Structure 1
Amino acid sequence: MTRHPTDHPQFYLTAPAPCPYLEGRQERKVFTHLIGQHASALNDVLTQGGFRRSQNIAYRPACEDCKACVSVRVRVRDFVWTKSFRRHLKLGQELVGARLPASPSAEQYDLFRSYLLARHETGGMAEMSVLDYAMMIEDTHVETMVIEYRRRGPDSFLTGAGEGPLMGVALTDQLADGLSMVYSFYDPDVSGLSLGTFMILDHIQRARQMGLPYVYLGYWVDGSPKMAYKARFQPQEQLGPNGWAISSPDK
């Protein structure tokens, strides 16, 4: 029987490019395509091996002289709900996250642009057009969802959705062993709710309810201030040369 060619994925290496996290360094990535009927299974295996997904591409750093990028995942069952996290969760109780198909909208894109202009104006995604955004959301062959966060309304307990303006969005893959937060963004003008932290906490709760052991947060980058927040969510595992191991909470 002839098997689909994606049973044997081909891997490629990018040319050196400026590192988006550490000034003065160069990055290289190894990547492959996530397409066809086995894309979800391949995404599971590669995510467990330290890859991240972007559209129908799975990639991981392959820098020769730098190992700063480390894959991290939160241990859901053992997660430590500190006083700070409980406070964030309580503040976010006025929000409802509705799980939706991976479909873009004009409202999402407007929020995405506001977020980038406020938080990542000089980043590589700053010039993304509405078409680029649509591709980021819907160009996928794996099990993906969009979670839209809005304020809780009087009918939210019936509809499972919030009401009013869109306040946050998470593009999330459902894996065999967890939820992988591919990309998230939120209203930069909302104060007092710590929306970025709340969305991670909400994913930890969702994974626990679904019986999934992990929430994958992507890369923690040693020396990058904008990635330092990921170390707060403990206990977490980091992927090293000998596999996944519990990290030190003081990082």
Structure 2
Amino acid sequence: MTDRVRLFQTLPHTCGYYAERTAQNLVVDPGAPHLDRLYGPALTKGFRRAGGHLYLPQCGACQACVPCRIDVEHFVADRTQRRCLKRNADLTIEEALPGFTHERHALYQRYLQERHSGGGMDAADAEDFQRFLTAPWSPTVFLEFRQGSRLVGVAVTDVTLVGASAVYTFFDPDEAARSLGTFGILQQVELAKRRGIPYLYLGFWIAGHPKMDYKRRFRPLEIRKHDRWIPMP
């Protein structure tokens, strides 16, 4: 990031992780030229993409959201993760172009209705799908998981020279036994390895939050504190 890039702070809003807390984000000027070139450096500073926005939590009374990333070169799957890979050995993985298709959207809707009912996203239409998961400037790949011809999961992945970012994963809610969320991260690690990318960014980790605890299992994991990346204890 440079002093020639404008940063904006959002108005206070309800926190997506703790309903009783108020949150604010620091956002890179969405009208800035060459956002594609800014994306990699922004990742290294802890920013994350949602739709066409690069943001970083900037909450005055709370610093719970901590950026985290997997050291791809030194990552070794643990026993549980190896079992996950074995359970899904019947799936094929394809690096596909990003964007809306009726097949993807139908799966996305089923996932949101089952996993995030009442969360405000479960009625996402085609425009919502496109706006949230993609951006015109973003180097995005959709990793598709198929059992035969049937689409069972999609891991939305942004790919830059300095790091890949696990943006969002959605999958068939009837396939919960496959642990496709974990499988998605493992496939994103493999994508990064194939392309010689050093890190897979997992967004934010929150100590003690049940929806974030799974990230601790991908070792070695680094967290960003005091403007530098350090190994997670």
Establish whether TM, by shorter chain, passes 0.5.
yes
Structure 1 residue 246 and structure 2 residue 231: aligned?
Answer: yes
Range 188-197 or range 55-64, more displaced:
188-197
Q: In structure 1, what is the equivalent of residue 196 of structure 2? A: 211
**Aligned-partner residue type, residue 194 of structure 1:** S
**Unaligned stretches of 5+ residues in structure 1:** 1-5, 152-162
Once residues 42 and 203 of structure 1 are traced to their aligned partners in structure 2, the CA distance between those partners, rounded to angstroms, is 21
**Offset of 1:92 from its aligned partner?**
1.5
Runs of 4+ in structure 1 deviating by more than 6 angstroms, as ranges, are: none
- Report the TM-score when normalising by structure 1: 0.86
Range 65-74 or range 9-18, more displaced:
9-18
Given candidates 45, 50, 53, the residue that maps to 1:54 is 50
2:143 touches 2:157 (CA, 8 Å); kept in 1? Answer: yes
Q: In structure 2, what is the equivalent of residue 187 of structure 1? A: 172
1:69 touches 1:219 (CA, 8 Å); kept in 2? Answer: yes
Q: 3-state SS of the aligned residue for 2:173?
A: coil
Once residues 15 and 39 of structure 1 are traced to their aligned partners in structure 2, the CA distance between those partners, rounded to angstroms, is 23
Q: In structure 2, what is the equivalent of residue 68 of structure 1? A: 64
**Aligned-partner residue type, residue 114 of structure 1:** R
Structure 1 residue 119 and structure 2 residue 115: aligned?
Answer: yes
Once residues 23 and 132 of structure 1 are traced to their aligned partners in structure 2, the CA distance between those partners, rounded to angstroms, is 23
Given candidates 67, 77, 81, the residue that maps to 2:77 is 81
Q: 3-state SS of the aligned residue for 1:122?
A: coil
Once residues 155 and 136 of structure 2 are traced to their aligned partners in structure 1, the CA distance between those partners, rounded to angstroms, is 15
Once residues 39 and 30 of structure 2 are traced to their aligned partners in structure 1, the CA distance between those partners, rounded to angstroms, is 7
Once residues 198 and 36 of structure 1 are traced to their aligned partners in structure 2, the CA distance between those partners, rounded to angstroms, is 35
**Offset of 1:213 from its aligned partner?**
1.2
When Rg is computed on C-alpha atoms for both structures, the one with the higher figure is 1
Q: In structure 1, what is the equivalent of residue 104 of structure 2? A: 108
Range 201-210 or range 117-126, more displaced:
117-126
Q: Deviations over 1:39-93 (max 9, x none)?
A: 2220111111011111221001010011110111001111132111111111122
1:104 touches 1:138 (CA, 8 Å); kept in 2? Answer: no
Q: 3-state SS of the aligned residue for 2:178?
A: coil
Q: Deviations over 1:196-236 (max 9, x none)?
A: 11111111122112111111111112232111111111111
Once residues 85 and 206 of structure 1 are traced to their aligned partners in structure 2, the CA distance between those partners, rounded to angstroms, is 16
Once residues 55 and 245 of structure 1 are traced to their aligned partners in structure 2, the CA distance between those partners, rounded to angstroms, is 28
2:93 touches 2:146 (CA, 8 Å); kept in 1? Answer: yes
Q: 3-state SS of the aligned residue for 1:225?
A: coil
1:35 touches 1:56 (CA, 8 Å); kept in 2? Answer: no
Given candidates 18, 25, 31, the residue that maps to 1:22 is 18
Q: What is the count of residue pairs matched by the alignment? A: 232
**Aligned-partner residue type, residue 39 of structure 2:** N
Once residues 27 and 100 of structure 2 are traced to their aligned partners in structure 1, the CA distance between those partners, rounded to angstroms, is 25
- Report the TM-score when normalising by structure 2: 0.93
